Structure 1
Amino acid sequence: MAGALPAEVVHVFERFADTARRVVVHAQEEALALEHGHIGTEHLLLGLLRGDTDGAVRALAAAGVDLDTARRDVEDIVGRGSREPERDIPFTRRAKKVLELSLREALQFGDDYIGSEHILLGLIRESDGVGARVLQRRGVDAAELRSAVILDLRSRRTGRPEPSPREAAAEKGPPGERPIEAAIEALGERLTAIEHRLERIERLLRDGSGPGDA
């Protein structure tokens, strides 16, 4: 059984940038797709490897890790679930630890937000879960990956959190011939859906006790 969750983890989502929020939502989706009854470090890794997590996916790709291969490794190590899990599935103790470490990494670097890179740094530090085993299978040197992530963070530091999808749409202009208002509205609806799912996930982090491994 997991122990009481540290208060800083309970409130970790308050500091999440959009890429970090997508990692958590993607991790839940990956766990559901594999019919797993928990969200573990392996699902966080798969969430990091989805194509819209910015610096984390770049660092992992440079280290030779891709989403399809990592999915096969996860299935090989832990298999698929035997039945479709409930929609609100708990985090494992190690996955919670990764989130706690991501906050510590952000604070260590003087960042007032948590991005996907900080979650990856937390995953690297939590070296005993399935996520770490997948990286080891791919021949990833943890120290080298950590250095690459830190270098990326420092090279593009702006002193503020990553822009929200609404801000990013405004900066990039309309996609194709679509009016900017329609693009912003669509992105806003997607973000609202993500926020609702994150609220459920945060309640699980606060109240639930997940499995101890993964």
Structure 2
Amino acid sequence: MFKRFTARARRTIVLAQEEARLLQHNYLGTEHLVLGLLAEGDGIGAQALQRAGITLESVRAGIEEFVGRGEGAPKGHIPFTPRAKEVLKLALSEALELGHNYIGTEHILLGLLQEGEGLGVKVLVAAGAQPDQLRATVLILLDQ
């Protein structure tokens, strides 16, 4: 599944897993993908979020407010939620629509925005982001 992912996109997934563990969540949801994008810090996905004033700390705080922390750090594999899996499928769709043969952090963010119903987008909106503006920012950054 991750063959087409760039090194930064793969790192985003690894960091999302680490963030899920830090929050003691036994699943990897769309909210953890947002944290992974921000923790990666350099990709277009992170740049778009940073331009919108979104920080790792504000998203972590939002997640804790919405769902709290888990009870005890998960051991072993952390499974993706159905919504997170859908976001990754949509990331591929976004990449193909843009004529890209790879999946980068920008496509993960676009997939999150297209899915639109997960906690990831809810936390972004609560932190002051506007999904349409984020999408436009990603497209502008891709043109540079």
Which residue is 2:50 aligned to? 61
Partners of 1:26 and 1:58 in 2: CA distance = 16
- TM-score normalised per structure 1: 0.66
1:14 aligned counterpart, secondary structure? coil
Which residue is 2:30 aligned to? 41
Task: State the Cα deviation string for residues 117-169 of structure 1 (Å, max 9, x = none).
Answer: 000000111111110111110221111110110111122xxxxxxxxxxxxxx
Task: State the Cα deviation string for residues 30-49 of structure 1 (Å, max 9, x = none).
Answer: 00111101000000000000
**Counterpart amino acid of 1:71?**
R
Structure 2: 5+ residue stretches without partners: none
Superposition map of 1:19-38 within 5 A? 19-38=8-27
2:91 aligned counterpart, secondary structure? helix
Which residue is 1:93 aligned to? 82
**Counterpart amino acid of 1:55?**
I
Partners of 1:98 and 1:51 in 2: CA distance = 18
**Counterpart amino acid of 1:138?**
A
- What CA RMSD, in Å, does the superposition of the two structures yield over aligned residues? 1.0
Shift of 1:51: 4.2
Structure 1: 5+ residue stretches without partners: 1-10, 156-214
Contact 1:22 / 1:53 at 8 angstroms: preserved in 2? no
- TM-score normalised per structure 2: 0.96
**Counterpart amino acid of 1:80?**
R
Superposition map of 1:138-177 within 5 A? 138-155=127-144
Contact 2:87 / 2:111 at 8 angstroms: preserved in 1? yes
1:74 has 2:66 as partner: no
1:128 has 2:96 as partner: no
Partners of 1:75 and 1:69 in 2: CA distance = 10
Q: Return structure 1 stretches of 4+ with deviation > 3 angstroms.
A: none
User: What is the aligned residue count?
Assistant: 144
**Greater gyration radius:** 1
**Counterpart amino acid of 1:50?**
A
Contact 2:8 / 2:40 at 8 angstroms: preserved in 1? no
